[in-house]
Amino acid sequence: MKVIDSIARITGLVAMVVLFLMMLLTVADVLLRATINKPIIGTTEITEQMMVAVVFLGFGWCCLQGKHVKVDLFVSRYPAGTRRIIDLIIIFIGLVFVAILCWQTFMTTLTLQRLGITASYIGIPKYPFYALTALGWIVLFLAMASYFVQKIKRSDER
């Protein structure tokens, strides 16, 4: 499980760094546009692709930190045993679903690569960023799997 922890942490770290760079890029673009009237060409497209890293690489980490939003209101009042079984079933369904998401994103990646589709204007190929999306789903899958295994092992936690 430690391996999964490190993977999610590293991808989360990459997401953070890209967020920081995205901020710098936009600030630089605005400053250059305002001062010497020469914006950085393609800032919009580059920002869009950076968003893919910021968002999808953070999913797994967010899961490990238990930060994905859910409604505890009723479930927290169920008996512990019931709660555990429900949680296990729900995580299992989630695992299957995220696996499908990942598989489909990967299939789209292959199609885009074959067709050579690019993000408009400055011609960045799209498929590497689809691949990044798929990677994000893989890390989320691993993080959920790790949580699932922990939940089976330990019955006492909420």
Partner 1 sequence: MSAELVGLIGVVILVVLLLFVRMWIGLAMALVGFLGILYLQSFKQAFGVLGTVPYETVAYYPMAALPLFVLMGVIVGNTSIGEDLYYAAYKWIGQLRGGLASATVLSCAIFAAITGSSATGTVLMGKVALPQMRRYSYDDAMATGSIASAGTLGILIPPSMGFILYGILTEQSIGKLFMAGFLPGILLTILFIIAIAITTAIRPQAGPAGPKTSFVEKVVSLRKIWHVLILFLLVLGGIYGGIFTPTEAGAIGAFGAFVIAAATRQLAGKKIMGILGEAGITSAMIFFLIVGAFIFMKFLGLSKLPFAVVGLIQQLQVSEYVIFAGIIILYIILGMFLEIYSAVTFTIPIIYPIILALGFDPIWFGVIIILVIEIGLVTPPVGMNVFILSGMTGTPLESIFRGVVPFFIAMVVCVILLAIFPEIALFLPQTMK
Indicate the residue among 86 and 122 with the shorter CB distance to partner 1.
86
At what angle are helices 127-153 and 43-64 packed, to 10 degrees?
A: 10
74 binds partner 1 (CB under 8 A): yes
CA 104 to chain centre: 15
- From residue 52, how far is each of 59, 137, 140, 147, 157 by CA, in Å? 11, 12, 14, 24, 34
Site string for partner 1, 6-25 (x = CB under 8 A): ------x--xxx-xx-xxxx
Q: What's the DSSP call for residue 57?
A: H
Shortest spacing between CB 132 and partner 1, in angstroms: 9
Q: Which residue has the tokens 């920081």?
A: 20
CB 149, min distance to partner 1, A: 18
Nearer to partner 1, 26 or 153 (CB): 26
SS3 119: strand
Binding site for partner 1 (CB under 8 A): 12, 15-17, 19-20, 22-27, 29-30, 44, 47-52, 54-56, 58-59, 61-62, 65, 67-75, 86-87, 89-90, 93-94, 97-98, 100-101, 104-105, 107-108, 119, 129-130, 133
